[in-house]
């Protein structure tokens, strides 16, 4: 990877500032060195020297307290350089990368006022470059965003002005979230490798479905007309089953009647003589099949009639009501339906 590919302009450094603001680093609002009074210079110098000594003693947390106190008085690039070093040595590499970038920009702008700042700019630039192999970057491209669209990456907010710049992060897995008020958020999981760039493109307009009153979208319910259109094919299928049941009832019933008539002639009113056991068993099987056919005919026929009625188009704004009942006599079975 070319280090030149991740060098920042002043806009890129502004992005880094925005990222660090989300990490809890408070940037000092001290006066510029050229406008500091003698008292302010003395106070800032005293806190700076304490912070530098603590840094050299590797007491980085305590050093940050003194250095930030110095920056609160006078915003000196030399002091900011040591803040970046403390963050780096504490393992807070993203914040250190941003702080060193800001140091380089401010030191270059102030070197005409004090030549000593040129060395601070060089040191900050070089030390920042050394962090590149230890960091990962994500290049985000967001299209169709509106004014209220926001971007968060690795649980930190990224200001709008930094969207076009590579966003530094620690290697590993991270989550990118694009949000717009009143819309469902877009989430992208990103795996980051040290020293490399990940590319993430988000179409905010295409990927953000509307959510009404903060509730998830629901699938549209099938229309009543669609339900009715499905009922007619189902009714015809049930009718086919009913016809098959009726045929089974008629054929098996006729066979059973013939078998029992033959047995009645052969056996009379008494028990059948040996040799007719097979005929008796066949008659029972035929009767059972006839009974099953009758039940299938009755159930499937009633289902078919009901589905046909319910599947008919509505009339006068109301669905037709269906009624079906089985009627049977000694020698027949049938269905009666009413609409």
List all residues 6 or more positions away from 161 whose beta carbon is below 8 Å from its beta carbon. 11, 14, 15, 18
Q: Angle of helix 38-56 relative to helix 77-89, nearest 10 degrees? A: 20
What architecture is domain 3-131?
Alpha Horseshoe (1.25)
Domain borders along the chain are 3-131, 136-214, 229-338
Place of tokens 């030549």: 115
Distance CA 152, CA 148 (A): 13
Nearest CA-CA partner of 79 in 58, 99, 57: 99
Query: Matching CATH topology for 3-131 and 136-214?
Result: no
Nearest CA-CA partner of 169 in 136, 129, 198: 136
- 197-203 and 323-329 as β-strands: parallel, antiparallel, unpaired? unpaired
Better-predicted residue by pLDDT, 226 or 307: 307
What is the predicted pLDDT for the residue at 20?
41
Confidence of residue 123 (pLDDT cuts 50, 70, 90): very high
pLDDT of 247 above 60: yes
End-to-end CA distance of the chain: give it in Å, rounded: 79
Beta bridge partners of 192: 172
Q: What is the pLDDT of residues 69-120, one digit of tens each?
A: 999 999 999 999 999 999 999 999 999 999 999 999 999 999 888 888 999 9
Contact 283, 259 (CB under 8 A): yes
Confidence of residue 339 (pLDDT cuts 50, 70, 90): very low
Q: Which range is most confident: 3-12, 160-169, 288-297?
A: 160-169
Tell me which fold the domain 136-214 belongs to. Immunoglobulin-like (2.60.40)
Better-predicted residue by pLDDT, 241 or 227: 241
Six token digits for residue 53: 């000594």
Q: What is the mean pLDDT of the chain?
A: 78
- The SS3 assignment for 331 reads coil
Distance CA 225, CA 89 (A): 70
Q: What is the pLDDT of residues 14-71, one digit of tens each?
A: 444 434 444 444 445 689 999 999 999 999 999 999 999 999 999 999 999 999 999 9
What is the predicted pLDDT for the residue at 24?
41
What is the predicted pLDDT for the residue at 295?
82
């Amino acid at each position: 990877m070319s280090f030149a590919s991740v060098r920042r302009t002043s806009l890129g450094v502004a992005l880094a500032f925005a990222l660090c603001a989300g990490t809890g680093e408070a940037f000092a609002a001290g006066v510029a060195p050229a406008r500091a009074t003698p008292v302010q210079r003395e106070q800032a110098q005293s806190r700076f020297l304490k912070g530098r000594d603590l840094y050299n003693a590797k007491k980085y947390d305590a050093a940050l307290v003194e250095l930030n106190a110095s920056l609160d008085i006078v915003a000196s690039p030399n002091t900011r350089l040591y803040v970046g070093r403390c963050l780096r040595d504490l393992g807070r590499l993203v914040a250190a990368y941003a702080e060193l970038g800001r140091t380089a920009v401010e030191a270059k702008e102030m070197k005409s006022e004090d030549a000593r700042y040129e060395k601070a700019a060089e040191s900050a630039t070089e030390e920042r470059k050394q962090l590149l192999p230890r960091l990962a970057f994500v290049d985000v491209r967001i299209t169709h965003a509106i004014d209220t669209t926001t971007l968060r990456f690795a649980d930190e907010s990224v200001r709008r002005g930094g969207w076009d710049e590579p966003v530094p992060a620690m290697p590993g897995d991270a989550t990118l979230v694009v949000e717009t008020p009143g819309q469902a958020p877009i989430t992208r999981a990103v795996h980051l490798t040290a020293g490399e760039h990940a590319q993430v493109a988000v179409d905010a307009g295409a990927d953000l479905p509307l959510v009404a009153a903060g509730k998830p979208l629901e699938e549209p319910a099938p229309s009543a007309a669609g339900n009715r259109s499905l009922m007619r094919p189902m009714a015809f299928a049930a009718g086919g089953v009913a016809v098959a049941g009726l045929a089974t009832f008629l054929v098996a019933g006729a066979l059973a009647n013939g078998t029992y008539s033959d047995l009645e002639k052969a056996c009379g009113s008494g028990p059948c003589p040996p040799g007719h056991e097979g005929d008796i068993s066949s008659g029972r099987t035929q009767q059972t099949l006839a009974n099953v056919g009758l039940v299938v005919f009755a159930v499937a026929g009633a289902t078919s009639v009901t589905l046909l009625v319910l599947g008919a188009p509505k009339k006068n704004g109301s669905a037709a009501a269906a009624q079906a009942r089985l009627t049977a006599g000694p020698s027949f079975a049938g269905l009666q339906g009413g609409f």
